[in-house]
A and B are shown apart, each in its own frame.
Chain A
Amino acid sequence: MDEKDTVILRELQKNSRIAAGDIAVMLEVDEREVENRIAALHAAGILRRCTAVIDYSAAGVDEVAVILSLKITPERGLGYDGIAAQIARFPQVESILLLTGTYDLQVIIRGQSMAEVSRFVAEQIASIDGVRETMTQIVMRTYKEQGVEMSRPGSRDRQLITF
């Protein structure tokens, strides 16, 4: 990882669809080099996936997200890793974080309806051996996600000509 790789990663994080040729012009290197670097970052497991930030509420799609806080009894030899890996297998689970404080794991789950998410939590997560306690919070509104401010208008009034 050098400075150029850092710039490439930052650019992809801002816009995963940016053309390698554009990054090449910005970095003053040739396009082939950018492609090679991106491939190397993939191969090294540094660049995991190029994705999109979507505001489903803007599309009028109902979607439910909950934040599930879990208290876990650590397993001998594995600590929290075994249970976390088990939870991570479910496609409904968007993220899992190990935290300090009252709860051990914070799990974000998405689904089509509250009923679906409730069933998933009750049947699949709460029932795991080692999960001692759960607290489920419903996401009411997303203000900012992956650096994108969702509720902010995209353009402002600006003078068209200034010197």
Chain B
Amino acid sequence: MRSFVSRMAAEIPPSGIRKFFDLLLTMDNVISLGVGEPDFDTPWNISQAAISSIEKGMTMYTSNRGLAELRELISADLSRRYHTKYCPETEMIVTTGVSEALDIAVRAIIDPGDEVLVVDPCFVSYRAEVMMAGGRPKTLPCRAEDQFKVTPDALMESVTPKTKVLMINFPNNPTGGVMGTDDLKAIADIVVDHDLLVISDEVYAELTYDGHHVSTAAIDGLWDRTIMLNGFSKAYAMTGWRLGYICAPKEICDAALKIHQYVMMSAPTAAQFAAIEALKNGEEAKNEMVSEYRMRRNLFVKGLNDVGLPCHLPKGAFYAFPSIEGTGLTDEEFAEQLLKEQHVAVVPGSAFGESGRGHVRTCYAVDRSKLSEAVHRIGIFVESLHS
């Protein structure tokens, strides 16, 4: 029998750490810093809103774009935080997680052969998404000494006449790096000069600890060149609800909507009712979670530095991205040995791209007693390498 698997599917590299994950499943007493989601339950009023919508029988499809009330609330929320003016009728689609938002954004704008500059290190889907759309992902390296920001120099070095799209994610998974107003302004001219479009995944926006998140769409000259992606997963501890949204100028949004209509119809209805409650009455719970993450970050990052893993204080998301180069191990070796010897799971930085090499991603969305136990175990492990 011939192989029925498409060339595209066959050529996409599998996610990097399958072997590592299998090893993990055979062990117990593991403290996992390997997750990418909040450890909190969804605030109860939010869950209750979904339950109540189901009880009332509101279980039909919604409009393709999502519930009108939800879109209006999202638009108002964005306008309050970034002073952007997204029209809820024409410039926004509610999606099944940011994953779908990313997918329809990429497919709406990429033609076969188009070059896409992808921030590196980055969330594992970005490159695969570009490839599935027939595009060519190119690396835009971010370095520890720049706090993992996109610098104008790095951008100038990577951009070519074939580049069509710049794909960024700040606050960043896996580094926790952020881009402030000045950082974004510094690359805005290059984006305009090279006539680029920016896909800006801002799903960690609310998890910004020192100062406020700056949206790419709010930078002068970038609004009509930006597709902004965001969602409810991280800010409201709603990962399993699968709810995100895409905001873009009408022409792009119309194109993305066609794809969304064919592949998804509409985002899950109960989750949309939950999201309405999140935006109406979720602010306090969100702020409490954010302040808890911030305190854990301070404790955890100090702990990592104290046990000899140099780590910048990340300004966003819930990841610390320490350098493990001083240990003499590669990031894969470090992660594997740490798991085997001390039962602490971290993700090798190279799983997120070349620029992540020599680092490991550690998620501090873990309760404090486990975090300090993890620091203790990492300390024992690092110490054992020196003796």
- Nearest-Cβ distance from residue A24 to partner chain B, whole angstroms: 9
In the bound complex, residues from chain B placing their C-beta under 8 Å from that of A163 are 15, 36, 123-125, 173, 347, 351
A162 touches B345 (CB 8 A): no
In the bound complex, residues from chain A placing their C-beta under 8 Å from that of B37 are 158-159, 162
What separation, in Å, do the CA atoms of A160 and B36 have in the docked complex? 9
The yes or no answer to B61 lying at the interface (CB within 8 A) is no
The yes or no answer to B307 lying at the interface (CB within 8 A) is no
- Over the window 30-69 of chain B, the binary record of Cβ atoms lying under 8 Å from chain A Cβ atoms (1 yes, 0 no) is 1010111101000000000000000000000000000000
How many CB-defined contacts (below 8 Å) exist between A and B? Answer: 48
> Which of B265-319 touch A at CB < 8 Å?
291, 294-296, 298-299, 302
- Nearest-Cβ distance from residue B228 to partner chain A, whole angstroms: 21
The yes or no answer to B17 lying at the interface (CB within 8 A) is yes
Partner of A160, one of B24, B39, B291, B299: B24
Given known contacts A158-B35, A160-B345, A26 and B123 CB-to-CB distance under 8 angstroms: no
What separation, in Å, do the CA atoms of A161 and B123 have in the docked complex? 13
Partner of B34, one of A22, A25, A161: A161
> Which of B74-133 touch A at CB < 8 Å?
123-125
Partner of B345, one of A7, A27, A161: A161
In the bound complex, residues from chain A placing their C-beta under 8 Å from that of B299 are 22, 25-26
- Nearest-Cβ distance from residue B335 to partner chain A, whole angstroms: 10
In the bound complex, residues from chain A placing their C-beta under 8 Å from that of B30 are 160
Interface residues on B, range: 20 to 34
- Nearest-Cβ distance from residue A11 to partner chain B, whole angstroms: 8
Partner of B21, one of A25, A26, A27, A161: A161
Partner of B32, one of A22, A27, A161: A161
A25 touches B17 (CB 8 A): no
> Which of A1-46 touch B at CB < 8 Å?
7, 22, 25-28
A25 touches B302 (CB 8 A): yes
What separation, in Å, do the CA atoms of A137 and B299 have in the docked complex? 45
A160 touches B298 (CB 8 A): no
What separation, in Å, do the CA atoms of A158 and B34 have in the docked complex? 11
CB nearest to A159 among chain B residues: B35
A160 touches B295 (CB 8 A): no
A160 touches B302 (CB 8 A): no
In the bound complex, residues from chain B placing their C-beta under 8 Å from that of A26 are 294-296, 298-299
- Nearest-Cβ distance from residue A106 to partner chain B, whole angstroms: 26
What separation, in Å, do the CA atoms of A26 and B303 have in the docked complex? 12
What separation, in Å, do the CA atoms of A161 and B339 have in the docked complex? 12
- Nearest-Cβ distance from residue B365 to partner chain A, whole angstroms: 10
> Which of A106-163 touch B at CB < 8 Å?
158-163
What separation, in Å, do the CA atoms of A159 and B294 have in the docked complex? 23
In the bound complex, residues from chain B placing their C-beta under 8 Å from that of A159 are 35, 37
What separation, in Å, do the CA atoms of A163 and B124 have in the docked complex? 7
Best-surrounded residue of A27, A158, A159, A160 (most CB of chain B within 10 A) = A160
A residues bordering B, Cβ < 8 Å?
Answer: 7, 22, 25-28, 158-163
B residues bordering A, Cβ < 8 Å?
Answer: 15, 17, 20-21, 24-25, 30, 32, 34-37, 39, 123-125, 173, 291, 294-296, 298-299, 302, 345, 347, 351
Given contacts A27-B298, A163-B36, 4 further A-B contacts (CB under 8 A): A160-B32, A161-B20, A163-B15, A163-B124
Q: What are the 6 tightest A-B residue pairs by CB atom distance, in nearest-first order?
A: A26-B295, A161-B34, A160-B32, A162-B36, A163-B124, A26-B298
18 contacts between A and B (CB under 8 A): A7-B291, A25-B302, A26-B294, A26-B296, A26-B299, A28-B298, A158-B35, A158-B39, A161-B17, A161-B20, A161-B24, A162-B34, A162-B36, A162-B37, A163-B15, A163-B124, A163-B173, A163-B351
